Amino acid sequence: MTVPVLRLEFADARETADLAAFLARLLHYDRAAAVRMQAGGSALAVFGRLPSFEVLAVRTARLAGRHDFDTTVSAGELLESLGTGDEETAAGSGVLPAAVTGPPWTGVLPPRAGWRELAGLPGPVSLCEAVTAAVAEFRSRDEALPEDRRTRAERDTVGREIWSRTIGSTGLPLRAVHAAQSLGFLRPAPDFPVALLAAGTWLRLRTPFGSIALRGQGNNGLGTLAVSVGTG
């Protein structure tokens, strides 16, 4: 039996290139990453999870045609179908890979509606400066650890304490801002638009290049962020 191939035609070749860049960054943190893709009409939303940061990343794109699907696929296969600067990417097209069995997170996505904007989020320059200061603090504290305490567990403890700090009174953990910067969603420009939104227990840091979403109160698991802060 032949499985029909669904070709994805994007509204603009730049949409293809931006999505490819997003997938490449996801794969940098997880070579076996999967992404959930939801299409409705000409809108496409691609969800990925950064295990080191314990957040969901959301990248949207505009399709040239109308589609209606909801599937989970390999991020690597999707990136390969989009190309990496070759004719496929230049043409603004790709192929929807075969579905895979998704990890547990793919079954719990942020709500589509009901978001309200929260006050108190610093500007993009201040957010980027906070990440830079946190990375420097982690490195300094890591270097200060005695040799007998320089273990994975000890470094994770230091990282957890730093990256679980919230931004002002917003409740947004610093790790979410670091994730946004690491994925290229955040720019340190004074006029760069950023917003913090909330819906139920979810928080979402939104920028023109994508969003970082995570559960609000009580979700401070950091995975291996403590030892990966220098790679983003």
The tens digit of pLDDT for each residue in 122-179 reads 999 999 999 999 999 999 999 999 988 888 899 989 999 999 999 988 999 999 999 9
User: CA-to-CA distance for 102 and 214, rounded, in angstroms?
Assistant: 18
Q: Which residues, 6+ apart, have CB-to-CB distance to 63 below 8 Å?
A: 8, 9, 10, 11, 39, 42, 43, 44
User: CA-to-CA distance for 162 and 127, rounded, in angstroms?
Assistant: 14
Distances in whole angstroms, Cα of residue 216 to Cα of each of 25, 166, 171, 206, 220: 24, 11, 7, 15, 9
Average pLDDT of span 109-121 = 95
% of the chain residues with pLDDT over 90: 73
* Domain range annotation of the chain: 7-107, 116-231
Does residue 212 have a pLDDT over 90? yes
Q: What is the mean pLDDT of the chain?
A: 87
Does residue 230 have a pLDDT over 50? no
- Token code pair at residue 101: 């069995």
Q: Which residues, 6+ apart, have CB-to-CB distance to 21 below 8 Å?
A: 184
Q: What is the pLDDT of residue 217?
A: 54
Q: What is the pLDDT of residue 13?
A: 87
Alpha helices by DSSP H, the chain: 13-29, 75-82, 87-91, 124-144, 152-163, 174-182
Average pLDDT of span 62-87 = 87
**Nearest Cα residue to 206 out of 117, 119, 131:** 117
Q: What is the pLDDT of residue 125?
A: 97
What CATH architecture does domain 7-107 belong to? Roll (3.10)
Q: What's the residue count for the chain?
A: 232
Does residue 38 have a pLDDT over 90? yes
Q: What is the pLDDT of residue 90?
A: 52
Looking at per-residue confidence, does 62 or 1 come out higher? Answer: 62
